[in-house]
Chain A
Amino acid sequence: MENTINFGIDLGTTNSAIAKFVKGEVIVFNNPLDYGRATLPSVVCYQKDKIIVGSQAKVMFGKQKKDAFTQAFFKRKMGTSESFQIKSQNRSITPIELSAQVLKELKTFVNTGDNLESVVITIPASFDLIQSNATKEAGYQAGFKQVVLLQEPIAASLAYANMKKSKELTDGQWLVYDFGGGTFDVALIRIKDGEMKVIDHEGNNFLGGADIDQMIVDKLVIPKINAEFSFENLEDEMKSASGKYNSKYYVLLSRAEEAKIRLSAVTSAEIVVDGFEDEEGNEVDFEITITRSEFNDLIKSSVDGTIEMIKTILTRNSLGSKDIQFTLMVGGSTYIPYVRQRVEEILQIPANCEIDPTTAVAVGAAYYAATKQKEISKSDKQQKKSAISIKASYNKASKEKDELFAARVTGETENLFYKIVRQDGGFDSGLKKLSERISEDLPLVENAYNFFTLTVYDSLNNVVETDVEPIGINSGFGISGQPLPEDICLEVDDYDNPGHTRLALIFQRNTILPTKRTLTFPINKTIIKGSEDEVIRVKVLQGSHLALPEANKGLGFVLITGKNLKRDVSKGSDIEITISLSESQDLTVAAYLNMADQEFKETFNPKERHTPIDLLKEQVEDLTEKLEEEIEQATEKEDYETASALSKLKKEMEIVAEETEKLNDDDVTDDKYKLEDRKRKIAQEIDSATKHKRIQKVKEHYFETKQECLKLIDENGNDHERKTFNDIVSQEEAFMSTNSPIKIQEKSDELQSIIGQIKWRTPDFLTGIFNWLKGEQTKMNDQTQAKSLVDAGKFAVESQNWDRLREINFGLLDLLPRGAKEQITTKIGFGL
């Protein structure tokens, strides 16, 4: 049981967030219904039967909806006697109640199983005692038993101090510049003898990122549309709720926000304006380019306004720029480079952008919370145990767009609420009153399993335990579909093991039928029209994708020879292979050759096995060869156990080979199937006898690669490479225990790619490659270019310009002819 508070909440005017201190670090909880965001818009919408908080409520703000009331920016009214009228419900609601709803919603972000009773909540530096007490009250109404307040600029400063791991900041002062989504605040902080205090502050409650988006549309986009097209009063028609182009205004605001974000990284961004006509019937479809300098000019006066506030603070406190250590940048709008530059330039105080500006306040609050003791009496902790039982009824499979969920609730439902959310995050019923009978239309995602969770809360948003199970509805597909009994694979040339083939997994075991997949491969040989020498084989097999190809059952086979082609197809051109399996496991294989624009398609019925005799003969030949090889290798390595196991198979193999050879090409008996089965069994036995050897080999290779990689990382690696390396090594136990040569090899390949990255930065390696390439110069395709690159390379070596040498090496490698080393034997025609 933790005895410090640990939880911190940034209860913001526009956005709020919650964070927790865990073992020296702070985690900011993600918004479970807003992907990639850790913040919750501080907006509450009351409807007839439910309360909605956050993004979905924000959408409704400022709009008229029957029986609904939405409020935002209520933080500005904290501590006043003002309240908001909900006409449809004939009651009023206070800013405290609205804030309590936001706090309650934030509780649902916490996925660590904690029961939140104590919390630190941040308040603006400008809050007086009444406003502060109102915030505390909101905390209590949200169910917290202990609420500790902390000023926002102090919280941001704590986030910075902890990031720097210098909790003992030296005596001095700095500014916290908080430019958020809807408000701006600046505070002067002083630390003296370890005590951090807000000395002064200023702010503008109506300046934030949303205002900047609007400026882009109003001042840059609309004038440009007017200049190109004919509109009488475009701005009014866009901005008025009843205007003809009102919906386009929202499209443009969204695109302006995107452009604003892009302009923080690049020097110009485009805004597409399309989808409507001007008054003369001309289609509006063009791009407006906004340069960073245009954007900077646009926001200059707003940014200068914030700087004026800082100057006021400095003057009021008789301070000069040199008295301030830095300006700590907080709030999403400080991502804008111009904001940072301008503040730094005018004030001549370094701008400090080291903390995440969107979550800094919550993070700082959590650090503060970790230093505060919990003060909750035991009697408070005794919770009333609820005994709620929910009996649900719904269709478990549906082809409808939504499905009715109904449930009967037994137990005391007074003052309890429920919420149903879809697990993919696409549906949230909002918080509704629990009653004896509840029902809800649950919208379904087509062709997927839809899981919903019903959670019951008490009036303080604490979860109440019930016996309800997750709601699972299968929509559209697979209702009568069967799961695949085994993997379905495609045989491909094995580029790591020239002359051999391997399996590429297409559908994993238990995939629900029907299913379909397309794979594209470059072909590895040229096929001349009319010739029969070179062929492409599309072989679909059933069985473990980790096994040898010969050990699996053939399901379908499409052979493409030059005789089938309308034109030559060159090595390197693409083959698109589409494999589909119907509910009754009918297999359709379609191979499309891009270069010839030809498709070869065949359907195979699983009940009629497809075993072409020439293919069987070839496979038996290959397997005989493979068996010989394996026996030889095992004997060489003095692995007599494997050698003896394999030798036992030799006799059987010889019989199969002999009988297969005797088969006529038009044999109509079952013999070919019997022989194929016998062949497959031999292959399976070879597979199991040699698997140990293959695993051993890939394991050895993995550990050697790991050693090499670690050495290189220690010498020349960067943080990213070290992280990737550590990630791979941390999974070692898991992938080693799979005993799958393919999986272990994949990890060696990942390590190899780190090795490659590092080596191509090291002078010794680059010089070594260059020296080798110099030796190959006479073989290169373009002698003049090769000479000039070699000369440039010599200079790069002399001047130790390793970046340049790397480019030169790549250039020289490109000039090497695609020589004999690539002429490997290929059986399939494409590979991995």
Chain B
Amino acid sequence: MNEQIKVPKIYIDLIDQVFEIEKKVESLTESNSISRNVSRLKEIFEQLETDGGLVYHNPIGEAYNETRTDIEASIAGSSADNLIITEVIKPIVRYRKGGITLIARKGIVVAESKS
């Protein structure tokens, strides 16, 4: 039986925004120090509790198959063989305490066949 964790929705909403900002910062070409603030925001979530917090993971480019229950996928195109994640709508949010992690919110992605 898996353990489940319920994280206040506001944290998840905030993390989704941090993720969006991080994606946008990556595409900026002019020099900026926004990434320092993004890192700080990520650290704040990582340290919500004394020995744990929330971390997110962007699964872009990773392989997708039906065993990945950390992701809610939509498959674009007609083939479902050799799937690769091509769009990440929401990142995977994990609750981490000590060395243990639990999924707090599944990632929402679009996967496409690479074959």
Contact = CB atoms under 8 A, between A and B. Distances in A.
A64 B2 contact: no
Given A55-B72, A251-B110, A512-B98, A32 B1 contact: yes
B106 A478 contact: no
A250 B110 contact: yes
Nearest to B96: A448
A477 B77 contact: no
B4 A242 contact: no
Interface string B69-111: 1101111111111000011010010101011111111101010
B87 A251 contact: yes
Contacts of A254: 74, 89, 108
A518 B73 contact: no
A511 B98 contact: yes
B28 to A, nearest CB: 13
Contacts of B5: 35
A511 B102 CA distance: 18
B70 A427 contact: yes
B43 A518 contact: yes
B50 interface: yes
By secondary structure, the A interface counts as mixed
Contact of B103 (A30, A45, A426, A447): A426
A704 to B, nearest CB: 28
B69 A425 contact: yes
A424 B86 contact: no
Given A59-B75, A511-B98, A512-B99, A32 B87 contact: no
A425 B77 contact: no
A249 B77 CA distance: 10
A57 B102 contact: no
A474 B98 CA distance: 12
Q: Of A242, A254, A512, which is in contact with the most chain B CB atoms at under 10 Å from its CB? A: A254
A56 B76 contact: no
A426 B99 contact: no
B3 interface: yes
Interface string B13-52: 0000000000000000000000000001001000100110
Contacts of A754: none
Interface residues of B, number: 44
A449 interface: yes
Contacts of B103: 35, 424-426
Bin the interface of chain A by size.
35 or more
A722 B102 CA distance: 31
Contact of A423 (B2, B40, B47, B77): B2
A659 to B, nearest CB: 37
B2 A249 contact: no
B77 A246 contact: yes
Interface string A473-498: 01001100000000000000000000
A182 B77 CA distance: 22
Contact of A427 (B69, B89, B105): B69
A35 B12 CA distance: 13
Contacts of B110: 247, 250-251
Contacts of A35: 4-5, 103-106
Contacts of A45: 66
A429 interface: yes
Q: Of A47, A64, A477, which is in contact with the most chain B CB atoms at under 10 Å from its CB? A: A64
A247 B89 CA distance: 11
Contacts of B99: 447-449, 474, 477-478, 512
Interface of A: 30, 32-36, 45, 47, 52, 55-57, 59-60, 63-66, 68, 111, 241-242, 246-251, 253-255, 275, 421-430, 443, 445, 447-449, 451, 453, 474, 477-478, 505-508, 511-512, 517-519, 576
Given A35-B4, A249-B76, A424-B2, 12 more contacts: A55-B69, A59-B74, A250-B75, A251-B110, A422-B2, A424-B101, A425-B70, A426-B69, A426-B92, A443-B67, A477-B99, A512-B99
User: A-B pairs with the 6 shortest C-beta distances?
Assistant: A426-B70, A247-B76, A250-B74, A65-B80, A63-B80, A241-B78
13 contacts: A32-B4, A65-B79, A66-B81, A241-B76, A241-B78, A247-B86, A250-B87, A422-B2, A423-B102, A426-B69, A448-B96, A506-B50, A576-B40
